[in-house]
Structure 1
Amino acid sequence: MDKIMVVSCEKVKKVYKVTLEDSPLYPDGKGGQLGDRGTIGNNNILSVEKNCVFLDGEVQLGENDLYIDFDRRKDIEVQHTAQHLFSALAYNKYSLNTVGFRMAEEYSTVDLDSKDLTEEVIKEIEKMVNDAIKISIPVETSIVKKEEAMTIEGLRKTVSEKVTGDVRIVTIGELDTNACGGFHVSNSCQLQIFKILSWEKIKGNYTRFYYVAGERALEDYYDKNKLVGELCRTLSCRENEINIMLDKVISDKKSAELELRSITQKYAEILAKDLMNNSENINGMKLVFYPENSMISNFLPKYIDLSEYILIFGESGQFTVTSKKINCKDYFDFLKTTEEVRGGGNESRVNFKGDLSEDLVFQQLKVYLSKL
């Protein structure tokens, strides 16, 4: 347990902004990396900025206990070093430049400056990273003056003119030399395993890679292996038969949906006749009400003669009125004079919703018809 000096503490919305003296905490987002977490006093660190943190509770001014989550730091070291290795090997063999990096809690992303990478190339880069992990390459760091850093040959990315002060150089054997102030492991073997989860083309003609390394990769393997097992049990098949069985399930589902649609349409035709036979006559207008929003109600306008009948259907505050006998938009405007509703449509059909019961909507339509 270390000590930290709290200079100020103020409540900002539901959290507390705390200014620190000589903070050893790594800020969120710096160099694309995750920031530190832990506690100050008995309060959890929610986020970190330069010489400032946000806590979930108030802390006293002056000296306080500081706990840094070093297990989290270890994970960050692994993910960050994996990025260096991936970027280096992509550059060394395929001249691909890293134009973006972001670390998240579950995975990290790297953007390479190409949109035309084949699956074979991607698989080869992933293999090269794992081969480098296997042979235990030392990862070394050194601090040099900016002037010296500007003259180092072989830097994967030149040091920006905006950088001030000393520069931290991270070297992975003969594979990579790059300026970086983030966390890193001391040997490539600590990465354990590297796995590209997926990739996609993004704006700017770049390809974004989603990856995990170390314990994250092992956990990902465990979760996916468990998922495969569950699929095999559900589909009653072996691993190599999953795709075949899924295709069959999808095909059966489509067939069942088509059959259901056909049956529903035939039922709607029969139901429409019954509804028209039992319609209410209001001021010479024939009114049909069906209290559902379903596939059946969606078919009803096809089988109810809208030139002779007014159809209203719906439930749970969402309704539709359709007819060629009245101006449906006028009814909606009438309804708005007494109820809080929103929606829209045209003269022959209006969809609307609000805090309305089926009985209220039906009664209000009867009131409107009685005034015509």
Structure 2
Amino acid sequence: MVFMCQVDSYLTNFSSTVTSCEPTESKVENKNGQLVKTDGYHVELDDTILFPEGGGQPDDRGTINNVPVMKISRKGAKAIHFVGKKFEVGETVKLSVDWDRRFDHMQQHSAQHLITAIADGRYGYKTTSWNLGKEISFIELDVPQTNQDNINNIESQVNKAILENVPVVVHVTHVGSPLLESVRTRGLPDDHVGDVRIVEIKGIEANMCCGTHVSNLSHLQCIKILGTEKGKKGKTNLYFLAGSRVLSYAGKCYASEKELTKHLKCSPDQHVHAVDRTIKQLKLYQKNCTSLLRDIAVLEASKFKSSAVNKCFCLHRKEGNIEFMNIIANEIGLSAFLFLTVGDEKGVGMFLLSGPEGFVQSCGSKIMELIGGKGLAKGNRMQGKAEKLQKKQQAITIIDEFMSKFSSLS
């Protein structure tokens, strides 16, 4: 069946009749993008302007009598609308489509057809699949790599076709029709029933497709190819934006450019040079800081050993790291009880526990549990991550108690 949304993709309101309404449960995407089981009803209509997913295009959103349609799926020749309210069979209802979402999908889908046709016709880059993403879409090309000059030329040619106001025409035919012999297709779904749609970009290509499309390439506004990258199994993914997404992307890029200009204190044409210089300086500072931190670790260990007042060395250094703690532990050895921590002393960080024979085995698990530690013990040393360094003082109490028993046994 060809739905009204496929007959006229620009139709935003429509009246239809309920033919079935059954209680059910379905997984629906929430605001966080998670699929959540939701109670509702599967509603079938005698026709619909709400597109069910298919052809690589996601389903529409809209309302039935102002009740939000949370999901639309296709089952054979039927479109199944998932809603949160029951409707009576035979009831006449008014449908409304979320036009912003619909037109965005129309632009991306028609852009995909156009890019695919130009890429294949000029360079033999055949499309094996595509993905209409929420922000960026991509086409999977059946080639291991592409030539950048060719990609630039494809972008130039698709935008030239947009400027030429090329019409996009939909033909409805049937399985076995001679029209299908000359169109591009990957075949019909196994559960296909009824008529077949052919989407023709005049003078460029004709393709079997169930999706919604613009009626003229000028409605795409423009297409921007963002680039390509290696895909799976010797294929290449070509990333693109069309229509309103190009304007949105340009706006975000300009906002970022303004922020960079403010922080880097130079004109946009100098941004790359300024960032490159800053990265080199940062690497030098990091190298110097690492060297200083190593020196501090050696000094801390030396200071402790020379004092010889206490056999327990507990130290926290916010800017320290695993190497810092290991240097101290290696310098002091197993002659003392060590509890070293780095990072946020009121939250997440890292720890190292070391000491004479039996210390880690006796206290390690208790301290790990207390500070929310995750790590491994090797010999007389244990180290890893800690989620609750604010409980460091209680951990030191456990060490003091062990040391008291240790001293009495010595």
Report matched runs for 1:101-180 at 5 Å: 101-149=130-178, 151-153=180-182, 155-157=183-185, 159-160=187-188, 162=190, 163-180=192-209
Q: Distance in 1 between matches of 2:67 and 2:167?
A: 37
The 3 A distance-change label for structure 1 pair 323 and 69 is: closer
The 3 A distance-change label for structure 1 pair 149 and 343 is: farther
Partner of 2:378: 346
Q: Distance in 2 between matches of 1:227 and 1:11?
A: 43
Q: Distance in 2 between matches of 1:307 and 1:324?
A: 5
Contact 1:109 1:209 in 2 (8 A): yes
Q: Tell me if 1:38 matches 2:66.
A: no
Q: Distance in 2 between matches of 1:196 and 1:335?
A: 57
Partner of 2:335: 308
**Range with greater deviation from structure 2 (136-145 or 45-54):** 45-54
Report matched runs for 1:278-289 at 5 Å: 281=310, 286-289=311-314
**Range with greater deviation from structure 2 (329-338 or 34-43):** 329-338
The 3 A distance-change label for structure 1 pair 207 and 332 is: farther
The alpha-carbon deviation at position 168 of structure 1 amounts to 0.5
Report matched runs for 1:42-81 at 5 Å: 42-50=66-74, 51-55=79-83, 58-62=84-88, 63=91, 64-81=93-110
Q: Deviations over 1:188-231 (max 9, x none)?
A: 11111101123211111111122110111121122212322322
Q: One-letter code of the match for 2:44?
A: E
Q: Distance in 2 between matches of 1:81 and 1:338?
A: 57
Q: One-letter code of the match for 1:289?
A: C
Partner of 1:230: 259
Contact 2:220 2:242 in 1 (8 A): yes
Partner of 2:185, secondary structure, is: coil
Contact 2:363 2:398 in 1 (8 A): no
The alpha-carbon deviation at position 49 of structure 1 amounts to 1.4
Partner of 2:5: none
The alpha-carbon deviation at position 131 of structure 1 amounts to 1.1
Q: Distance in 1 between matches of 2:62 and 2:368?
A: 57
Q: Distance in 2 between matches of 1:321 and 1:296?
A: 10
TM-score normalized by structure 2? 0.79
Partner of 2:22: 8
Question: Matched residues, percent identical?
Answer: 26
Contact 1:90 1:125 in 2 (8 A): yes
> Aligned residues, how many?
364
Query: Residue 331 of structure 1 is aligned with which of 362, 375, 382?
Result: 362
Partner of 1:31, secondary structure, is: coil
Partner of 2:332, secondary structure, is: coil
The alpha-carbon deviation at position 26 of structure 1 amounts to 1.4
Q: One-letter code of the match for 1:122?
A: I
Partner of 1:248, secondary structure, is: helix
Q: Deviations over 1:110-136 (max 9, x none)?
A: 100012212111111111111111111
Q: Deviations over 1:270-308 (max 9, x none)?
A: 333344456764xxxx11001345426742432441132
Q: Distance in 2 between matches of 1:307 and 1:161?
A: 70
Q: Distance in 2 between matches of 1:224 and 1:231?
A: 10
TM-score normalized by structure 1? 0.87
**Range with greater deviation from structure 2 (211-220 or 336-345):** 336-345
Q: Distance in 1 between matches of 2:178 and 2:233?
A: 30
Q: Deviations over 1:75-132 (max 9, x none)?
A: 2111110000000011101112111111122121110001221211111111111111
Report matched runs for 1:247-326 at 5 Å: 247-276=276-305, 281=310, 286-292=311-317, 294-295=319-320, 298-303=323-328, 304-314=331-341, 315=345, 316=347, 320-323=351-354, 325-326=356-357
The alpha-carbon deviation at position 47 of structure 1 amounts to 2.4
The alpha-carbon deviation at position 43 of structure 1 amounts to 3.8
Partner of 1:254, secondary structure, is: helix
**Range with greater deviation from structure 2 (187-196 or 13-22):** 13-22
Partner of 2:8: none
Q: Distance in 2 between matches of 1:220 and 1:319?
A: 40
